[in-house]
Chains A and B, each alone.
Chain A
Amino acid sequence: MEFAEAISEVAQNEERRDFDALVERYHKQAYNIAYRMAGNHADAEDLTQEAFIRAFRFFGQYRRELPFDSWLYKIMSNVFIDKMRRKPKAKIRSLDQPITTEDGEAQLDIPDTSAGPEETVLSKEMDNRIQAALNTLPEAFRLTVIYADIEGLSYEEIAEATNTNIGTVRSRLHRGRRLLRNKLKSYTDLMG
């Protein structure tokens, strides 16, 4: 009995070492996606951490012959959707839609804290605008667009990560990109 327990402990320690190595290797990639999903650093950190904890709990089911990041994406998608469902509903508004205040109507102004050469400022501003626009997309569209255009996954891989089929991926991507395009149109026109 003691021998069996010792063997089991060795196996668990080995599994833990393997998992720690995967955390080291993939946490930056996971964080980048989490940031684009969540739209801010605090939530991105929570999302990344929770995804790795959940992955750890189910690590025994992970099939080693498959890429770990694909498996992690699937878990991240679930964690993200769960978190969004638990979150109080935020009112979604267009970036161009005026805000009604006591003093009348005002335009939404996305803060830009960047400084430095003009190109950096413009690039940072564009980044903020795109992120703000991404935040307004419905979660399923946002996930699909992030996996396709930021991570460069194929439709098949996105379908696997979001637990759906290729037809749905195609439709979500089409609608998600069009929504984004419409929100960013005035800005990109301005930029030439």
Chain B
Amino acid sequence: MNCRRVVNLISAYIDGELTGAEMLEIRRHLSDCPECTEEYESIRATKLALSRLATAAPRPDLAESIIRTLDVVRVPLYQRAINSAVRFAHSKLSPVAAALAASGLALVLLSASGIDNIDSKPVQEVAAVPAQDGSFVRQLSTGSVLLPGDSPLVVADPHTGFAHPDLKLVSLNSTK
């Protein structure tokens, strides 16, 4: 293993997140290479300094304040239905199937529930946020999608199956 490769793997080596063979190779390399050993020591010291940071404490009544705020948070009916469906789907289906089922339900509920302030748009393609590996869940190829005005369209995470508002639409091509 050359120095460049060792330096690239040094953090994972420190964390013990390599295979046994890689760990041994790096250990062997470090015993012969002062430059890489210096890199190893400095990264290890950085990790150690971070782990020793003091714990930041909140004000004493923060939990109480959050709980008070929750009293005025309303979970819309359609969201409760989606939540229940996702939970049910997780117990019965694979994560990907659960995600697809939840997304389908979300679209049906949004289009059928008569939620106020909805903007209806004809679309060619709607896709959920892509994962790092480039994969994504395609929600709809052609047709129309209903977008509630005060909250994003609920789409599902292809990895976890969660229907989640943080997953944004990445394309919304109007047919007209």
Q: Do A and B bind each other?
A: yes
Judge if A72 is at the interface, Cβ distance under 8 Å: no
Instruction: Report whether A174 and B17 are in contact in the complex, using a CB–CB cutoff of 8 Å.
Output: no
Instruction: Report whether A130 and B84 are in contact in the complex, using a CB–CB cutoff of 8 Å.
Output: no
Judge if B83 is at the interface, Cβ distance under 8 Å: yes
Judge if B25 is at the interface, Cβ distance under 8 Å: no
Task: Give per-residue flags for B53-93: 1 if the beta carbon is below 8 A from chain A beta carbons, else 0.
Answer: 11111110011011101100101000110111011001000
We find that the number of chain B residues with CB closer than 8 angstroms to chain A is: 49
**Partner pick for A60 among B15, B43, B83, CB 8 A cutoff:** B83
CA distance A160 to B47 in the complex (A): 21
Residues from chain A with Cβ under 8 Å of B65 in the complex: 49
Instruction: Report whether B132 and A164 are in contact in the complex, using a CB–CB cutoff of 8 Å.
Output: yes
Q: Which label, helix, strand, loop or mixed, suits the secondary structure of the A interface?
A: helix
In the complex, the 3 A-B pairs of residues with the closest C-beta atoms, listed nearest first:
A60-B83, A35-B56, A149-B50
* Chain A 117-170 residues near chain B, CB threshold 8 A: 123, 126-127, 130-131, 145, 148-150, 152, 154-155, 160, 163-165, 168, 170
Instruction: Report whether B46 and A57 are in contact in the complex, using a CB–CB cutoff of 8 Å.
Output: no
Q: Which label, helix, strand, loop or mixed, suits the secondary structure of the B interface?
A: helix
Which residue of B has the minimal Cβ distance to A51?
B66
- A103: shortest Cβ distance to chain B, in Å? 34
- B68: shortest Cβ distance to chain A, in Å? 10
Residues from chain B with Cβ under 8 Å of A152 in the complex: 51
Judge if B12 is at the interface, Cβ distance under 8 Å: yes
CA distance A157 to B20 in the complex (A): 20
Instruction: Report whether B54 and A123 are in contact in the complex, using a CB–CB cutoff of 8 Å.
Output: yes
**Partner pick for A130 among B10, B49, B160, CB 8 A cutoff:** B49
**Which residues of A line the B interface, CB within 8 A?**
16, 19-20, 23-24, 27-28, 31-32, 35-36, 41, 44-45, 48-49, 52-54, 56-61, 63, 78, 82, 123, 126-127, 130-131, 145, 148-150, 152, 154-155, 160, 163-165, 168, 170, 173-174, 177-178, 180-181, 184-185, 188
Instruction: Report whether A58 and B83 are in contact in the complex, using a CB–CB cutoff of 8 Å.
Output: yes
- A147: shortest Cβ distance to chain B, in Å? 11
Instruction: Report whether A177 and B46 are in contact in the complex, using a CB–CB cutoff of 8 Å.
Output: yes
